[in-house]
Amino acid sequence: MNAPDNLKYSDDHEWISIEGNVATIGITDYAQGKLGDIVFVELPSDGDVLNKGDVYGVVESVKSVSDCHMPLSGKILQTNTSLGDTPEQINQDCYNEGWMVKIELDDAGKSEIATLMSNTNYEKFVAEESA
């Protein structure tokens, strides 16, 4: 399992990269591996305002269909529209080309950053979940 140390992680297996008040979000290497080959991705519209825990997208794989949950509150600034044609980018490069949404953090979202895990804590979380 690959969990870069420059990212934050949620207990729903999302990774989060934070730069200023913008967060880039995707699913982790662990999550994409558990899902298997991803064949379809549904993402929200730019401008949608979502709260932590809200469903922001759906990922369909050969094994299952899974909801993606917002790890932080904010407004959708951009979606990775290339995933519509090439959803397998999530399997191939989940931390770069396979990102899903970029959000502008609202005040709640900024305070929610403290609820996210470091890569070390996320690796422990996955190990406990898998045991």
Percent of the chain scoring above 90 in pLDDT: 95
pLDDT in tens, 63-105: 899 999 999 999 999 999 999 999 999 999 999 999 999 999 9
Q: Is the pLDDT of residue 56 over 90?
A: yes
Q: What is the pLDDT of residue 27?
A: 97
Q: What is the pLDDT of residue 84?
A: 93
Q: What is the pLDDT of residue 130?
A: 80
Q: What is the pLDDT of residue 30?
A: 96
> 3.10.180.10, 2.30.110.10, 2.40.50.100, 3.30.530.20: which CATH number matches 13-107?
2.40.50.100
Q: Is the pLDDT of residue 131 over 90?
A: no
- Is there a contact between 87 and 41 (Cβ–Cβ < 8 Å)? yes
Q: What is the pLDDT of residue 129?
A: 85
The rounded distance, in Å, linking the Cα atoms of 44 and 115 is 23
Phi first, then psi: what are they for 46, rounded to 5°? -55, 140
pLDDT in tens, 120-129: 999 999 999 8
CA angle centred on 107, ends 105 and 112, rounded to 5°? 75
